[in-house]
Amino acid sequence: MTNFGNIKSFDSNKGVGTIIPESGGDALPFRRSDLQQQAQEPQHDQRFSYDVKNADNGKRYAINLQPQQGESDVKQEQARAQQG
């Protein structure tokens, strides 16, 4: 099942980050290798679709992250355009 959420954080040096589910709940960790477009670094509050993997230790991880063109993305692009 595909889920949606916003990036909470991403550490480009370590290649790890967290995403907050739109449906609520705790932030889920992910790795750079879980991004479908690895060349593009995820930005804070950027909307992504993702799947959830349940690990053997009971922890949940976000995988197969794909950026989504959402309302927040449009607002960010408009703000950048106004700044010049």
pLDDT digits (tens, 9 = 90+) for 20-69: 999 999 999 999 999 987 768 999 999 999 999 999 999 999 999 999 97
pLDDT beyond 90 at 79: no
Taking alpha carbons only, the member of 14, 79, 73, 1 closest to residue 44 is 73
- pTM of the full structure: 0.78
Number of domains in the chain: 1
Which residues span the domain enclosing 42? 3-83
CATH of the domain at 35: 2.40.50.140
Contact status, residue 6 vs residue 18, Cβ threshold 8 Å: no
pLDDT of residue 40: 81
